[in-house]
Amino acid sequence: MKKILNIGSINIDYVYDVEHFVRPGETISSSSRAVFPGGKGLNQSVALARAGGRVWHAGRTGPDGAGMLEIMKEAGVNVEPADTSGSTTGHAIIQVNASGENCIILHAGANHELGENFIDNALASFGEGDFLVLQNEVNNLPYMMKKASERRMRIAFNLAPFDDGIKNYPLSLVDYFLVNEVEGAGVSGKTQPAEILGAMSAMFPKAAIVLTIGRDGVLYKDPCETLAHGIYEVPRVDTTAAGDTFTGYFLAAVAGGKRAAEALRVASLASSIAVSRKGASSSVPTIEETLSANLKYIETNQL
């Protein structure tokens, strides 16, 4: 099992259950409010750990974020590279509608206070073959990619949330792209899943492309093979951490030497279970739950 360093966001999530997403000029009431640990970085580190990965998390919070580090520690994440010296902890305002879909407003806070010295110190204990996991909720990503590449680390990049600045990152250094249809379309200029997959593979021929397509499952392409995997039938309660769960489980499997097909299967099982639960990191299942789950498989026909 290779070591995994996640330099990622740490947020406090404020989740509101609503009948529908608020529209411009509209004021609505929520039926409930809950507070959860979150941030794509934190969620993915919890998923990596619960999937059996050897994961370290480097991130920054404000003084009010110490509890977020404790939550990661309880999940099995090594948080030694993280600290609470930032200005304020990042947070998210999340609306969850009656269908279990979500929309999110982010405030970066300390997630955008990662300086070069912090990054250098975080990378110091990692080397050739180890994994660096990144999302687009922290600053200084190009520097992280270049320094990790110099150490011959394998770089996995979840392009979320997507913005046009991503196109200026040194994406040729990335070994694993983990994207949904919106992010894949933003990079490739294509809209159909098979076209996104093909275009991104042509743009980054040495990389593995992992394209999640919601209820249609996931597509995968690397220089050697092209794969598809469907989903598992569960009630849709809250999709907030489904993608992060998939990312963590997929990368933990790959870092553990599993073939891509098996990594897709386990990650699809875990993310399906997460969809059936409320919350972000709190919805991520353990590897024991995932492997023992008896869920109906729904095949995809997207290739």
Angle made by CA atoms 156, 160, 164, in degrees to the nearest 5: 105
Q: How confident is the model at residue 53 (pLDDT cuts 50, 70, 90)?
A: very high
| Cβ neighbours, 10 Å, residue 72 | 26
Q: Percentage of residues in the chain with pLDDT exceeding 70?
A: 100
Q: What is the pLDDT of residues 284-301, one digit of tens each?
A: 999 999 999 999 999 887
**Residue 147 above 80 pLDDT?**
yes
For the chain, first and last CA: distance in Å?
A: 31
Range of the domain at 169: 3-9+40-84+114-298
Q: What is the pLDDT of residues 251-271, one digit of tens each?
A: 999 999 999 999 999 999 999
Mean pLDDT computed over 132-151: 98
pLDDT for position 239: 82
Q: How confident is the model at residue 18 (pLDDT cuts 50, 70, 90)?
A: very high
**Residue 89 within a domain:** no
| Nearest CA-CA partner of 255 in 140, 139, 126, 147 | 126
Q: How far apart are CA 210 and CA 24, in angstroms?
A: 34
The strand pairing partners of 134, in sequence order, are 7, 157
**Residue 24 within a domain:** no
| Angle between helical axes of 40-50 and 242-255 (0-180°, round to 10) | 50
DSSP-assigned letters across all residues of 179-243: EEHHHHHHHHS--SHHHHHHHHHHHSTTSEEEEE-GGG-EEEE-SS-EEEE-EE----S--TTHH
**Mean pLDDT score of the chain, rounded to an integer?**
95
**Residue 285 within a domain:** yes
Q: What total number of domains does the chain contain?
A: 1
Task: Tell me the CATH number at 285.
Answer: 3.40.1190.20
pLDDT for position 279: 76
**Residue 152 within a domain:** yes
